[in-house]
């Protein structure tokens, strides 16, 4: 069986994108070339790797197995290249990071600082909800993952690197924003706007409310901090968000933090990756950069 690394990269790009045209663009080849390479790979394997139904690609079990093997091979080769570069004093390579959506308020700044140190490194950043990050983690698609609630059913290397305070917010004109100390029971007649179930923020908030035997009257569940801030600013209810989503300020975009007893709820940001994963040198360097740079971020 004679298959080149270039062919494996094209096949994996098609597998990940589910589209030959998109894969062709990402691997810098023409669509006819990508299609021809797929046929050559199938011929070399001697089994059908995919089928096209109504212009959509469906991969066979053999195709899925090849994609998994190709991913491991290309990852191992990338690690080797980076190790050789590091031995020669170079800092080339590619770093793949997946982060939950709230981390977008501080991760680009930290990545920017890292790129200033190592301008020849290419970085791929995926910003998703928690479920999306977990899916990528289970499929081993990235080097590092940033989240506030790592899963408990996976064997992970896990390091805390930053506080993640969760604060209650209301419209700037809301009477509760003018008080200096608000007891939690004052919210019994308030409507809440919270993150969707399954998000790290929601998991932490639900756990805290349960510990206080407080049942919030939920009006909305929204999938982004921006949507929550807009809804709160519009007077639709009380929200609970990461302080990072307010860029560290007490007042922002028509909302203000309420001084509630028991808040902020203290959560943490974690750097995680599968425990048995051998991190490439670039990922190791970035992990150290995160641990050494968090002092520059207001929490």
Domain at 58, CATH number: 1.10.10.10
Q: Are residues 156 and 248 in the same domain?
A: no
Give the domain range for residue 210.
164-267
Q: Are residues 63 and 86 in the same domain?
A: no
Q: Are residues 178 and 262 in the same domain?
A: yes
Q: Are residues 251 and 105 in the same domain?
A: no
Nearest Cα to Cα of residue 107 among 164, 186, 188, 182: 164
CA distances from 132 to 128, 138, 156, 224 (A): 5, 10, 17, 14
Ranges of H-type helices in the chain = 5-17, 20-26, 31-45, 61-87, 107-117, 130-138, 200-211, 225-233, 281-293
Nearest Cα to Cα of residue 240 among 170, 135, 145: 170
pLDDT value, residue 295 = 63
**3-class DSSP assignment, residue 3:** coil
Can you give the pLDDT of all 299 residues of the chain as single tens digits? 688 888 998 999 999 988 898 988 888 889 899 889 988 898 889 888 988 888 788 999 999 999 999 888 888 887 777 677 665 655 667 899 999 999 999 999 999 999 988 888 889 999 999 999 999 999 889 999 999 999 999 999 999 999 999 999 999 999 999 898 899 988 999 999 999 999 999 999 999 999 999 999 999 999 999 999 999 999 999 999 999 999 866 677 799 999 999 999 999 999 999 998 888 888 998 999 998 887 655 54
- Looking up tokens 């003018």 gives 178
Count of C-beta atoms within a 10 Å radius of residue 51: 11
pTM exceeds 0.85:
no
CATH number where 251 lies: 3.40.190.290
Q: Are residues 128 and 273 in the same domain?
A: yes
Q: Are residues 277 and 156 in the same domain?
A: yes
Query: What is the domain count for the chain?
Result: 3
Longest Cα pair distance anywhere in the chain, in angstroms? 73
Nearest Cα to Cα of residue 266 among 218, 189, 204: 204
pLDDT value, residue 89 = 59
pLDDT value, residue 87 = 58
- Contact (CB, 8 A) for 261 and 184: yes
- Contact (CB, 8 A) for 153 and 269: no
């Amino acid at each position: 069986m004679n298959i080149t690394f270039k062919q494996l990269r094209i096949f994996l790009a098609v597998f990940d994108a589910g589209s030959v045209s998109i894969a062709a663009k990402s691997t810098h080849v023409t669509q006819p070339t990508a299609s021809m390479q797929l046929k050559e790979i199938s011929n070399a394997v001697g089994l059908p790797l995919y089928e096209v139904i109504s212009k959509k690609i469906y991969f066979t079990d053999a195709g899925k197995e090849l994609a998994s093997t190709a991913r491991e091979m290309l990852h191992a080769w990338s690690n080797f290249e980076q190790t050789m570069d590091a031995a020669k004093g170079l800092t080339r390579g590619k770093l793949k990071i997946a982060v939950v959506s709230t981390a977008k308020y501080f991760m680009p700044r930290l990545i920017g600082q890292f790129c200033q140190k190592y301008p020849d490194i290419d970085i791929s950043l995926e910003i998703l909800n928690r479920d999306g990050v977990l899916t990528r983690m289970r499929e081993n698609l990235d080097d590092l993952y940033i989240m506030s609630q790592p899963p408990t059913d996976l064997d992970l290397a896990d390091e805390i690197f930053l506080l993640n305070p969760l604060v209650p917010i209301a419209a700037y004109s809301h009477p509760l924003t003018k008080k200096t100390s608000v007891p939690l029971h004052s919210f019994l007649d308030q409507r809440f706007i919270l993150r969707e179930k399954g998000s790290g923020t929601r998991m932490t908030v639900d756990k805290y409310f349960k510990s206080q035997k407080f049942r919030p009257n939920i009006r909305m569940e929204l999938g982004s901090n921006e949507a929550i801030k807009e809804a709160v600013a519009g007077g639709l209810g009380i929200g609970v968000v990461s302080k990072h989503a307010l860029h560290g300020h007490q007042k922002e975009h028509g909302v203000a933090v309420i001084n509630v007893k028991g808040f902020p709820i203290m959560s943490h940001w974690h750097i995680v990756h599968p425990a048995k994963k051998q991190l490439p040198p670039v990922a190791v360097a970035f992990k150290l950069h995160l641990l050494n740079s968090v002092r520059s971020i207001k929490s």
